[in-house]
């Protein structure tokens, strides 16, 4: 991992008609977001799901690349006709698209020359100058082009590869979090909660999330910050709110 930077952000671009149709459930967003936050101190600020359409991929790659430090794409780097992510990224940055010599050798060794057909060879095609993200599960590597890291859509394979992305990333400040689970309704605390958020808005993000547990309605208050000290101060104010309102805290 590269030298640490105070604030580093990322976006996730999920590519695939099967996600939009509902046939396949997206499991990669939560996994990548959690990994980036806990392991790299990188905050995911936007997620998009788009179809396997070249113009759409190119448009989104350009926009997200300019807006965020890193963009993680999933899907569309396999052997079939609708796997067009690699070629689309090459077009987005006006780079030549063709066989990556190292990727070709990795796949040829993995499958053997007799079984290394055209579909499998396609997985070695990527934008010129791409850096490989090695794949310990099924050999076919992902790749990084500029600030775009392209990974497969299959969750188990993506999960096995994610640590190999770390060497390309600048580490940001880790975001710490604190959760209070309260047996109350949001309307009972919303006004005071808003005042606490306003007080610490430069340092802490506060979210409220309703839940239904043990036959009762409740609210989870989640505070997130890169500063442990500020997080402790917010938690102190929240506990004061709980005390004044005589709200019961649910311990999990």
Strand partners, 148: 71, 145
3-state DSSP assignment of residue 12: strand
Tokens of 151: 């990974």
pLDDT in tens, the chain (252 residues): 766 667 899 999 999 999 999 999 999 999 999 999 989 999 999 999 999 999 999 999 999 999 999 999 999 999 999 999 999 999 999 999 999 999 999 999 999 999 999 999 999 999 999 999 999 999 999 999 999 999 999 999 999 999 999 999 998 988 888 999 999 999 999 999 999 999 999 889 999 999 988 788 899 999 998 889 999 999 999 999 999 999 999 876
Please tell me whether residues 162 and 40 are part of one structural domain.
Answer: yes
* CATH number of 229's domain: 3.30.70.2860
DSSP state of 241: H
Q: Domain residues for 155?
A: 8-168
* CATH number of 12's domain: 3.40.980.10
Please tell me whether residues 45 and 133 are part of one structural domain.
Answer: yes
142, 112 Cβ separation under 8 angstroms: no
Please tell me whether residues 125 and 183 are part of one structural domain.
Answer: no
Q: How many domains does the chain have?
A: 2
Nearest to 13 by CA among 58, 50, 68: 50
Cα separation, 150 vs 73, in Å, equals: 5
DSSP state of 163: G
Please tell me whether residues 19 and 128 are part of one structural domain.
Answer: yes
Stretch (H or E) spanning 160: helix 155-161
5, 40 Cβ separation under 8 angstroms: no
């Amino acid at each position: 991992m590269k030298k640490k930077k105070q604030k580093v952000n990322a976006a996730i671009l999920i590519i695939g008609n099967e996600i939009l149709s509902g046939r396949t459930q997206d499991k990669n967003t939560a996994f990548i977001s959690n990994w980036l936050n806990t392991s790299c101190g990188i905050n995911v600020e936007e997620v998009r799901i788009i179809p396997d359409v070249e113009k759409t991929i190119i448009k989104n790659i350009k926009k997200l690349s300019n807006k965020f430090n890193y963009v993680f794409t999933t899907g569309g780097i396999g052997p079939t006709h609708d796997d067009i992510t690699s070629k689309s990224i090459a077009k987005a940055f006006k780079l030549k698209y063709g066989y990556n010599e190292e990727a070709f050798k990795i796949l040829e060794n993995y499958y053997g020359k007799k079984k290394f057909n055209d579909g499998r060879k396609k997985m070695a095609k990527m934008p010129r100058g791409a850096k490989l993200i090695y794949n310990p599960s099924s050999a076919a590597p992902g790749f990084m082009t500029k600030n775009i890291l392209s990974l497969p859509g299959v969750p188990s394979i993506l999960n096995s590869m994610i640590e190999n992305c770390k060497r390309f990333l600048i580490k940001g400040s880790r975001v710490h979090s604190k959760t209070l689970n309260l047996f109350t309704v949001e309307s009972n605390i919303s006004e005071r909660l808003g005042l606490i958020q306003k007080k610490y808005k430069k340092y802490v993000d506060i979210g409220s999330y309703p839940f239904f547990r043990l036959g009762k309605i409740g609210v989870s208050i989640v505070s997130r910050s890169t500063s442990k000290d500020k997080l402790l101060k917010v938690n102190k104010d929240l506990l004061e709110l709980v005390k004044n309102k005589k709200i019961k805290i649910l311990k999990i």
